[in-house]
Amino acid sequence: MVISANAILASLAQAIMDGDEQRGRDLAQQALGAGLSPSNIFEECITPTLQQIGDKFKRLEIFLPEMMLSADVVKGITRVLEPVIFKEKGSVPSQGKVVIGTAQGDVHDIGKNMVATMLEVSGFKVYNLGVDVSTAAFLSKAREVRADIIAISSLLTTSTPFMKDVISFLEGARERNEYRVVVGGGPVTREWAQRIGADGYGKDAAEAVSVCRELVGSKKRG
Amino acid sequence: MRNYTRLLDILDRVENGPIIDETEFDRKLLPAKLKELQRELDIRYDRQSSILLDDALADRLFEAGLRLATDVGVLCTSTGRRITFTRQEILDALEFAPQELIIGRGLDRCTVRKRQVEDRVPPGVVGGPIGQTLPEELFLPIMQSYAQEPIVDTIINGTLLTVYNREPKTHSPWEVLVAWHEAELSKTAVNRAGRPGLAIGCVETSPSEIGEISASSYGGFSPYDWHQVAMVSELKTNYALLAKIAHLVRTGCIIHTFYNPIFGGYAGGAEGVAITAVAGIMLMQMVYMTTTHSICPTHPFFESDTAPEIVWAISAAQQAINRNTHLLTDVLVSPVGGPCTKVLLYETAVITAAITVSGTSRVFAVRSTAGKYQGYSSGLEARFSGEVGQSVAGMSRREADEIVKRLIPKYVDYLDKEPKGKRFDEAYDMHTLRPTPEWQSIYEEVKEELRKIGIPFKK
């Protein structure tokens, strides 16, 4: 039986929604076999499905574990598509690269993981450094992967000075223009973000994604 | 100290428990177990009621929390091991736990007692903006504004923004200094309020262990105060937190622990948050050898605990614990509204009413603006919360539910608007430390509204 390309994409979308990584990889292979290009698969299936997942999370119709599973399926699918994409374009397209972590001295990670996952499902390449991340570790990873954005979260007032340190260190190293710095978390406000010279502030995961999109766009233009 | 578990045994389990990768714990073990328990024990959030009205469901929720605590335990992220207990060990510890606590000194001491669901005795009142950062120059007047309220039994500190005008950093000498500054200022606050023996909830400006350990030594906070230790969401601890516990056990201090499951996070929705909260309270009893326990399930976008799903989860978790144990349970009121807003008072009334009829021992009143805005808090909201608790005590859950259902629509559209209101120095007269006429009249107006919908304020 020959399954139509549309049916494959519909099943692929469902696999992403269900968080079924194996099925996602198999269907991605089938989609390629049916003659669909990776850009077709992304434009017609993956991007709109991830958009739906992000919207569902914003409305809290799904929760973090489900969203993370969907992000894992997309990572699996991308690994299947990557060789073809490389052959065609030489690199895998992404919205931008984000190095993200919780500021030094703070071990809270759920809010930061929500932002990281929302960024992933929105097409960013995300390097999640975890919690209690030192200023040096942020800088070193950003340099290593040539990040567009350094995103720092904190739930503790006493860890927010480390956000300022990241910016000061970038200035000291004359690298401030290389990266956009986005901050967020419980005690962080828009005013504080402006005061320390951050480029962006996200009051929640959804706003963080739109701020990162805007900043990557302005970086590319600027 | 009346606890079933002992420090050395806990620390042995920290070093020898089952190894697990943190990602596995967060993303697989906990969510899968929660789903299984929800399904098997039929734990369902009923949107028709704002407060849980079903005793059988409360008891199934207790069972779900007990099984989660047994099957998952607490992850110590410093050792990468789970701290686990058998079902019988947990049941024995719950049986043995204290059901009464005398706190504070001299004429200012008070007794914290176990309350039942629909208890006629009102909950105790803990006044203070725990979790909100306070500008250094406002710390003393704000804390005094709570301590001077007669209805407040104990206070709990906010967090200092600066120390001698410098920004303190976690796990640095600054943390030691800021913790000591918190001790100095809060002791002055209770003295100025004429209540020198009032117990102080501390050390709030101690994100790592060093602030707590330093400022709880000679000349700082005393064993008569009550000392706070967090369980990290979800169901995690680490060496820094356990070092606080080791210090507090060896110095004979009163240990209060708190746990704030994140709605929409690894715990999932209202049902998962309720189960995780029940398990968290049990596990704090086991791992932290605690005397009092508080919860504040937190919204991922608003950072408050007043969204309808969370109000239900809190009432359900409180009933599950208070029907089946004699633990001393507390709940933090964390509204999005700030001083000089009606929203703050509506939200405070909802949480206070929901937990009063659900058997909570004490209400933590109030983390205004959900802790987001610095210095946006005042003692008046603690007075208001205490008055609601006194008036609602003895009501049935059904009566309270009717009131809560009429109040939620008054604020629900503001949850994402950050109605921060006015900072303390605009909401209070800074010379008399009394609410401004504006804040006083908003408070009186809302009380009048609440009287009309069935809250019988005494004055």
Q: Are β-strands B254-259 and B81-83 bridged in parallel, bridged antiparallel, or unpaired?
A: unpaired
The Cα–Cα gap between B304 and B299 comes to 5
**Interface predicted TM-score of the whole assembly (ipTM), two decimals:** 0.90
At B261 the pLDDT is 96
**Least Cα separation, residue A218 to chain B (angstroms):** 26
CB atoms closer than 10 angstroms to residue B86: 9
Of A57, A65, A186, Cβ closest to residue B31: A65
The model's pLDDT over B297-311, given as tens digits with 9 standing for 90+, comes to 999 999 999 999 999
Chain A nearest-CA residue for B371: A187
Identify residue B237 by its one-letter amino acid code. Answer: T
Q: Do A157 and B303 count as a contact with CB atoms less than 8 A apart? A: no
The model's pLDDT over A166-183, given as tens digits with 9 standing for 90+, comes to 999 999 999 999 999 999
The Cα–Cα gap between B363 and B99 comes to 16
Q: Would you give the DSSP letter of residue B56?
A: H
Average pLDDT, chain B: 96
The Cα–Cα gap between A185 and A154 comes to 5
Chain B partners within 8 Å of A162 (Cβ): 169-170
Average pLDDT over every residue of B90-99: 94
Chain B partners within 8 Å of A57 (Cβ): 264
| pLDDT at residue A69 is higher than 80 | yes
Tokens of B62: 């207790």
Q: Would you give the DSSP letter of residue B298?
A: B
User: Could you say which residues from 125 to 184 on chain A have a Cβ atom under 8 Å away from some Cβ of chain B?
Assistant: 156-162
The model's pLDDT over B173-231, given as tens digits with 9 standing for 90+, comes to 999 999 999 999 999 999 999 999 999 999 999 989 999 999 999 999 998 899 999 99
Identify residue B121 by its one-letter amino acid code. Answer: V
**Least Cα separation, residue A122 to chain B (angstroms):** 18
At A3 the pLDDT is 74
Tokens of B66: 């007990």
Strand partners, A169: none
The model's pLDDT over B326-362, given as tens digits with 9 standing for 90+, comes to 999 999 999 999 999 999 999 999 999 999 999 999 9
At A1 the pLDDT is 53
State the residue for tokens 């434009």.
Answer: A43
Chain A partners within 8 Å of B272 (Cβ): 63
Chain A nearest-CA residue for B24: A65
**Least Cα separation, residue A112 to chain B (angstroms):** 11
At B1 the pLDDT is 58
The Cα–Cα gap between B228 and B223 comes to 12
At A47 the pLDDT is 87
| pLDDT at residue A125 is higher than 80 | yes
Confidence of residue B5 (pLDDT cuts 50, 70, 90): confident
E strand or H helix that includes residue B304: none
The Cα–Cα gap between B388 and B24 comes to 43
The model's pLDDT over B116-144, given as tens digits with 9 standing for 90+, comes to 999 999 999 999 999 999 999 999 999 99
Q: Do B265 and A159 count as a contact with CB atoms less than 8 A apart? A: no
**Least Cα separation, residue B92 to chain A (angstroms):** 31
The sign of the dihedral angle between the CA atoms of B313, B317, B322, B326 is negative
| pLDDT at residue B421 is higher than 90 | yes
E strand or H helix that includes residue B343: helix B342-357
At A222 the pLDDT is 61
The model's pLDDT over B227-259, given as tens digits with 9 standing for 90+, comes to 999 999 999 999 999 999 999 999 999 999 999
Mutate to test the interface with A, among B170, B377, B423 (most CBs of A within 10 A): B170
